[in-house]
A = this chain, B = another copy of it.
């Protein structure tokens, strides 16, 4: 049985020795181990996959680790076998949603998609093909606050571990974002920080760039400013209109989002300040 240990704490000498000592003492076999020391703030990050003969890790593990590590250490045990509960928010574009629905249907996401929520009806048919509940919460005629409250209430009923904005074209308030800190993933259709905000392909066309891209990131209180998880790009040229750039960009967007989601589902992503540390 494969287990996961995630540690974040102030850096000091001997941390790897102490952690591996606790595991060794309990007879747990390390399968994969990654460490990183962030040098600006002297923070130590460690991600360890270990095997345990029994299904349950020894009760002594967490107390022994806490005894060995600095008092402010964050230590968590994960289970790579348990799919995480996810809710998707979408608007009208189908490409990211279909990418995730298909992967989910074939067991390629270590996740259970509990529901899809949208401010439009467009993607109901696609979603229901895959037997996932689709909720239509229109924003028309509602204040932003009222609409967000509705979405939050519906989300809360699912208690998702992760929320994915799979081309959800509404700007979210800090109040919406706060309860889902580091659990809310967005795909932005540009190579951030180029072209923040609306209509990045129109901006890219206007600027005459030769490469466009996409960015998957955690959402924080500032639009398009959260920690970046994954990015990718493709070359373009002067013959492409903004519309054609958007078409070409969609292939990048959906693959980047799927890749970022996989990293998060497999707990390979730490967040420190406004950056990610990714153990892949």
A interface list, Cβ under 8 A from B: 13-14, 16-17, 20-21, 23-24, 27, 29-33, 35-39, 94-95, 98, 102, 105-106, 108, 126, 129-130, 191-195, 207-211, 213, 227-233, 235, 237-239, 241, 247, 251, 255, 258-259, 274-278
Which residues of the partner chain B approach A210 to less than 8 Å between Cβ atoms?
228-231
Residue ID in chain B nearest A22 by CB atoms:
B17
B98, A102: Cβ atoms closer than 8 Å: yes
Residue ID in chain B nearest A274 by CB atoms:
B208
A-side interface mostly: mixed
Which residues of the partner chain B approach A27 to less than 8 Å between Cβ atoms?
13
Determine which residue in A36, A194, A277 has the highest number of CB atoms from chain B within 10 A of its CB, and name it. A194
With A13-B24, A13-B29 known as contacts, the answer to whether A208 contacts B275 (CB < 8 A) is yes
A36, B277: Cβ atoms closer than 8 Å: no
Min C-beta distance of A191 to chain B, whole Å: 6
A211, B193: Cβ atoms closer than 8 Å: no
Per the bound structure, the CA–CA distance linking A241 and B230 in Å amounts to 18
B194, A208: Cβ atoms closer than 8 Å: no
With A30-B16, A210-B231 known as contacts, the answer to whether A192 contacts B194 (CB < 8 A) is yes
B274, A207: Cβ atoms closer than 8 Å: yes
Query: Which of the residues B95, B192, B278 comes within 8 Å of A237, measured between beta carbons?
Result: B278
